[in-house]
A = this chain, B = another copy of it.
Amino acid sequence: MSEQETPKARPAVRTLSDLARIAGVSAGTVSRALAGNSLVNTDTRERIVALARDHGFRPNKMASSLRRQKTDVIGIAIPLGHDSRQQISDTFFITLLGHLADALTERGYDLMLRRVIPERDEDWLDRFIGSGMIDGLLVIGQSDQFDRIEDAADGYLPMVVWGNHAEGQRHCVVGTDNRLGGRIATERLIAGGARHIYFLGDTSAVEFAARYAGAVDAAERLGVTITPLTSHLSSDRLEAEVAANLDRSFEPGDAIFAATDTLAIASLARLKALGIAVPDQVRIVGFDDLPLAAQTTPPLTTVRQEIRAGAFAMVDLLIRRISGEDTESIVMPPHLVGRHSG
């Protein structure tokens, strides 16, 4: 077994200079050859490339990054401000992350993921930016860090944020028109006969606050009562909070607008446990249109966000910002997906 251990017991080619010595050229030439630089003679280049392959040589990325002042790595920060536990597992964020990974990989970037708990680390944004490890930064969700993000954006161009767009904000954001989404969800409920709407969500996150604001717009305009109920997204609290919030007597005309499909699905489960029929006794509308939303009983009526398109837009904007352009934000329209829950 240990004698087998040396199929390639060569001195190990670790650096450009090692390879250069073997090839009988200088390190500079090897560097240029591997970079496909046309300055080197074609024969030389092919010989060097072949040698590199044979010896399994890979240039050290740290050294390269240092010299070029470019890492080909994009940072992804997930602030867990208003909800410090485990928001990373929220299906929506994860789906977005998956698509971002797709888009970035396609463009030749690696991604460096960092969970951030702003309460414990005031300095998270500047630290990440200043580390020199990343060429650009994507922030997934503003959480309650809107102001800090604004501050950072003043001095750091290559940053794009997923979240809500506010009038006159300075950082570049991609997201859904949350207020409009809240409005159409609420209008749907009211059109279905709702007279009293409970909003389930955590309004200290700006995205959700905007959905709530939209709901209030519609409710007030149409003369319907609306009551906010705070429910967090962290998986360890979600069920209990939803249960507590729904432990009330519902009357005809009551309805629920959940800030998130995750919350809506938990509500569905809770109501079933309580023996309350959806949508007959209580109507529910969610937000996101996760794949799961179509599979619940009854299938969930929800407001769709275009996650994949959003992810690709974020990457596109970021890359333009990296090259110096000061891009505008993108606000995507939400679409109501009418199914059977509300």
**Chain A interface (Cβ within 8 Å of chain B)?**
5, 56, 58, 60-63, 65-66, 71, 73, 86, 88-89, 91, 94-95, 97-98, 101-102, 105, 110-115, 126-127, 130-133, 154, 235, 265-266, 268-269, 272, 291-292, 295, 297
11 A-B interface contacts by CB (under 8 A): A5-B154, A56-B126, A56-B130, A58-B130, A73-B112, A73-B133, A101-B113, A111-B112, A111-B113, A111-B114, A297-B297
- Nearest B residue to A72, CB-CB: B133
Q: CB distance B91 to A91 under 8 Å?
A: yes
Q: Quick one: copies of this chain in the complex?
A: 2
Shortest Cβ gap from A109 to chain B (Å): 10
CB distance from A237 to the nearest CB of B (A): 12
Complex Cα distance, B62 from A306, in Å, reads 36
Nearest B residue (CB) for A57: B130
Please give me the 9 A-B residue pairs with the lowest Cβ-Cβ distance, nearest first.
Answer: A58-B130, A60-B132, A269-B295, A88-B98, A89-B98, A62-B66, A94-B94, A62-B65, A61-B131
Tell me the bound Cα distance from A112 to B297 in angstroms: 38
A154–B65 alpha-carbon span in the complex (Å): 29
Cβ B101 vs Cβ A88 within 8 A: yes
| CB proximity of A21 to chain B, nearest CB, Å | 19
Residue of B nearest to A272 (CB): B297
Q: Return chain B residues, CB-CB under 8 Å to A105.
A: 114-115
Interchain nearest-CB distance for A86 vs B (Å): 6
CB distance from A72 to the nearest CB of B (A): 10
Interface pair A113/B115, CB less than 8 Å apart: no
Give Cα A272–Cα B340 distance, bound, in whole angstroms.
15
Q: Nearest chain B CB to A311's CB is how many angstroms away?
A: 12
Q: Considering the complex, give the chain B residue whose CB is closest to the CB of A126.
A: B56
- For residue A91, which residues in chain B have a CB less than 8 angstroms away from its CB? 91
How many whole Å from A49's CB to the nearest CB in chain B?
Answer: 14
A112 vs chain B, min Cβ distance (A) = 5
A58 and B131 contacting across the interface, CB-CB below 8 Å:
yes
Give the complex CA separation of A63 and B63 in angstroms. Answer: 8
Q: Which residues of B contact A297 (CB under 8 A)?
A: 272, 297
Contact with A112, one of B88, B112, B131 (Cβ below 8 angstroms):
B112
Contact across chains for A110 and B114 when beta carbons are under 8 A apart = yes
Interchain CB contact (< 8 A) of A132 among B61, B95, B111: B61
Set of chain B residues within 8 Å of A126, measured between Cβ atoms? 56, 58
Query: What residues of chain B lie closer than 8 Å to A101, measured between beta carbons?
Result: 88, 113, 115
Task: Select from chain B the residue with minimum beta-carbon distance to A73.
Answer: B112
A91 to B94, CA, bound (A): 9
Contact B113 A98 (CB under 8 A): no
